[in-house]
Chains A and B, each alone.
Chain A
Amino acid sequence: MTTHDHPPFFSTWRKAYWFAMVLFAIEVALLYAFTLRFS
């Protein structure tokens, strides 16, 4: 294990992954709104 893999970092990265997933979900939602608006 490197210092980056210690528990506090696991927690930080888990938050980062959730954050990335939420942003991706927002991107898809915006694209869907775009589809509804212009189709």
Chain B
Amino acid sequence: MNRLDYIVLFATILAIPLYGLWRTYNHPNLREYLKGDKTIRWGTIGLSVLATQAGPITFLSMPGQAYESGIGFIQNYFGQPLALIVVCAVFVPIYQRLKVYTAYEYLGQRFDKKTRLLGGFLFLIQRGIAGGITIYAPAIILSALLGWDLNLTIWLAGGFVIAYTVVGGTKIVSLTQRYQILVILIGMALAFGIAVHRLPADLSFGDALQIAGRMGKLQAVDFSIDPSKRYTFWSGILGGFFLSLSYFGADQSQVQRYLAGGSLRASRIGLLFNALVKVPMQFVILLLGAMVFLFYQFEKPPIFFNQPTYQRALQTGYGPKLNQLQTQFDEVFVRKRELLQSAGPQSPAAELQQLDSRARGIREETRKVLEQAGANPKSKDSDYVFITFVLQHLPHGVVGLLVAVIFCATMSATSAVLNALGSTTAVDFYRVFRPGASDHHYVVATRWLTLGWGIVTIAVASFCSLVENLIEAGNILASVFYGSILGLFLVAFFLRQVRGSAVFFAAVLAQTLVLALFFTTNIGYLWYNFIGCAAVLLFAWILQSTLFRPNEPSAAASH
């Protein structure tokens, strides 16, 4: 990165929050601080929801995912449009009608105080840790490749977010996210255009797609029912539906986005906008990864994209072994390139795939040698693919913009999380145990609590180096807690005979079951969403029909 890149980077990441502060600075009451005002319309809500979900991992990992395994990952998003329609039809009208600040406040109205506290507590644990990972994951990658100090990078990504989120609350989060996601989309579109432009001049875009297809990178939809296949239409629809329903229906970081402004119509249109744009957006990001893959068929890629880790291992006694693997990798690359240059899109698919498989095998062997050498990378090498392409092959200025894209994604996702953590702690805990104070008192308390959560997430980010695989860790963490939280809400909506005590103990039992399964079995983590949710529904129904049957007083009825 040169001076131009740094100017573009800092101008972009500073200008948006400063503009947000200028536009939103006032003395809000609690409603304005937690939900914004009527000026927040569906466009802002739609972009804000999109920005909250599209964290830095999306833009660092997705292209690398396509580079390694093709664009089949798109199917994981197939359940989302359906889940968003259910959220629009069932969740949003109830939240808006009851004018709740948080999703867990609804649990208090439907059941009782302890169930509300349990829902809020599960959310706070999960999101508090996940927020730290959101900051740490891009920081470790950028600091490794750019040579920046890790803690400085964490504070750069996290510190500024804390400041403007504490000051502006929901309104500034929604406003800044609108511009941050625009920067992100412009940056990714630019990267896509340049990646296609950097392919050999005699290769048309159609030819490029033909070659990528022949190398097995463009299978977007697979209707196979083979359970050993990782990404299929069916797993995407079923698994993605439950995960998305939990995320959009019961995670305050998203609920707070679409309740902003307080209009049912705006919330619904904003969510339906997401139902329509999410799959095409992810497709373009994955296709960008396929184009980067193609680019590296003509331009020699590093054998291991996390070069600082690789260079450290070269200095150890494993240097000769790594050099031997590098020679093999170079030979495969030359043969592959010669084949593509001679036959172009008519290259035999079987031979291309065989050579590509050999190259991947050598990379995997290299990774194992790096582990033996004690150079322990903290995330998958595919996470370094896209940012390496950006840093080494994009023109100056655009490099700065793409690094700003990573920071914008970190800031937008983190601001939503901090806003939700502060709001939930203030509304579902602080206000419950200290009722009757003035509106101003609660705004000040929410600001302090948001600041406190900001410090917690930075602290978590600082200790994340203890975790082996960060991105997996984030997904596992969400899956372990989301099922039980979603179960609480589904019982509230659909099992109307169930009361507070039954659902509370059902959720405690279900969460204990999921944790026990997590620590004692090897079940794929996405299943925890379904198991936790189903267990709450089943236990709640059983408990209400047996132990809690006799005349338990009803909580304030909200239906």
A contacts, CB < 8 Å to B? 1-2, 4-5, 13, 16-17, 20-21, 23-24, 27-28, 31-32, 34-35, 37-39
Residues of A within 8 A of B272 (CB): 16-17, 20
From 78 to 128 in chain B, residues with beta carbon under 8 angstroms from any chain A beta carbon are 78, 81-82, 84-85, 88-89, 93, 96-97
Interface SS of chain A: helix, strand, loop or mixed? Answer: helix
A3, chain B: closest CB distance, angstroms: 9
Closest residue of chain A to B210 (Cβ to Cβ) is A38
The stretch among B191-199, B274-282, B367-375 that forms the contact with chain A is B274-282
Question: Do the beta carbons of B276 and A20 come within 8 Å of each other?
Answer: yes
Q: Which residues of A contact B264 (CB under 8 A)?
A: 2, 4-5
User: Is the beta-carbon distance between B89 and A13 smaller than 8 angstroms?
Assistant: yes
Judging by beta carbons under 8 Å apart, are B209 and A1 in contact? Answer: no
Query: Does B283 contact A20, Cβ atoms closer than 8 Å?
Result: no
Nearest neighbor of A23 in chain B, beta-carbon distance? B276
Contact of B280 among A17, A20, A27, A39 (CB under 8 A): A27
Cβ-neighbour of A24 out of B82, B89, B209, B265 (below 8 A): B82
B257 on interface, CB distance cutoff 8 Å: no
Query: Do the beta carbons of A1 and B219 come within 8 Å of each other?
Result: no
What are some 10 contacts across the A-B interface (CB < 8 A)? A4-B265, A5-B264, A21-B82, A27-B279, A31-B279, A32-B220, A35-B218, A35-B219, A38-B212, A39-B213
Which residues in A have their C-beta under 8 angstroms from that of B212?
A: 38
Q: Considering the complex, which residues of chain B in the window 260-302 have a beta carbon less than 8 Å from any beta carbon of chain A?
A: 264-265, 268, 272, 275-276, 279-280, 283
Q: Which of B81, B82, B84, B97 contacts A2 (CB 8 A)?
A: B97
Verify B276–A1 contact, CB threshold 8 A: no
Q: How far apart are A8's CB and chain B's nearest CB, in angstroms?
A: 13
B216 within 8 A of A: yes
- Assuming the contacts A16-B272, A23-B276, A39-B216, asked whether A32 and B81 have C-beta atoms less than 8 A apart, the reply is no
- Distance in Å: Cβ of B310 to nearest Cβ of chain A: 33
* CB within 8 Å of A: which B186-231 residues: 209-210, 212-213, 216, 218-222
> Per-position contact with A for B56-84: 1 when CB-CB < 8 Å, else 0?
00000000000000000010001001101
The answer to whether B85 and A17 have CB atoms under 8 Å apart is yes
Enumerate chain B residues within 8 angstroms of A17, measured Cβ to Cβ: 85, 88-89, 272
Instruction: Report how far A1 CA is from B218 CA in the complex, Å.
Output: 48
A20–B210 CB distance below 8 A: no
Residues in chain B near residue A32, CB distance under 8 A: 220-221
Q: Say whether, besides A17-B88, A20-B85, A39 and B283 are in contact (CB < 8 Å).
A: no
CB-CB under 8 A from B219, the residues of chain A are 35, 39
Closest-by-CB residue of B relative to A17 is B85
Task: Kindly report which residue of chain B lies nearest to residue A37, judged by CB atoms.
Answer: B213
Query: In the complex, A34→B113 CA distance in Å?
Result: 51
CB contact between A31 and one of B85, B210, B283 (< 8 Å): that residue: B283
Question: Which chain A residue has the least Cβ–Cβ distance from B212?
Answer: A38
CB within 8 A of A39: which of B74, B218, B233, B276? B218
> Contact partner of A38 among B78, B88, B213, B276, CB < 8 A?
B213
A9 to chain B, nearest CB (A): 9
Residue of A nearest to B218 (CB): A38
B206 — nearest CB in chain A belongs to which residue?
A38
Whether A31 touches B220, Cβ cut-off 8 Å, given contacts A2-B96, A24-B81, is yes
Q: Which residues of A contact B222 (CB under 8 A)?
A: 35
Task: A5-B264, A21-B85, A35-B220 given; name 4 further pairs at CB < 8 Å.
Answer: A28-B221, A35-B221, A35-B222, A38-B213
Q: Is the CB of A21 within 8 A of B88?
A: no
Chain B residue nearest to A38 (CB atoms) is B213
A24 touches B97 (CB 8 A): no
Contacts of A16 in B (CB 8 A): 268, 272
A23 to B276, CA, bound (A): 7
A5 touches B93 (CB 8 A): yes
- Distance of A15 Cα from B280 Cα, bound (Å): 22
**Given the complex, which residues of A lie within 8 Å of B268, measured CB to CB?**
13, 16
Residues of B within 8 A of A34 (CB): 218, 220
Q: How far is the CA of A3 from the CA of B280 in the complex (A)?
A: 34
Chain B residues with CB under 8 A of A13: 88-89, 268
User: Which chain B residue lies CB-closest to A29?
Assistant: B221
A35 to B72, CA, bound (A): 10
CA distance A4 to B264 in the complex (A): 7
**Docked complex Cα distance between A32 and B233 (Å):** 10
Whole-angstrom distance between the alpha carbons of A12 and B275 in the complex? 17
Contacts of A21 in B (CB 8 A): 81-82, 85
Cα A3 to Cα B219 with chains together (Å):
46
User: Which chain A residue lies CB-closest to B290?
Assistant: A38
- A16 and B279 CA atoms in complex are apart in Å by 18
CB distance from A12 to the nearest CB of B (A): 10
- Chain A residues whose C-beta falls within 8 Å of the C-beta of B84 in the assembled complex: 20
Instruction: State the Cβ distance, B305 to closest chain A Cβ, in Å.
Output: 25
Q: Restricting to B392-414, which residues have a CB under 8 Å from any CB of A?
A: none
- Determine if A20 and B81 form an interchain contact, defined as CB atoms under 8 angstroms apart: yes
The distance in angstroms between the C-alpha atoms of A32 and B216, with both chains bound, is: 14
Tell me the bound Cα distance from A2 to B265 in angstroms.
Answer: 11
B304-327 at interface with A (beta carbon < 8 Å): none
Separation of A4 and B82 alpha carbons in the complex (Å): 22
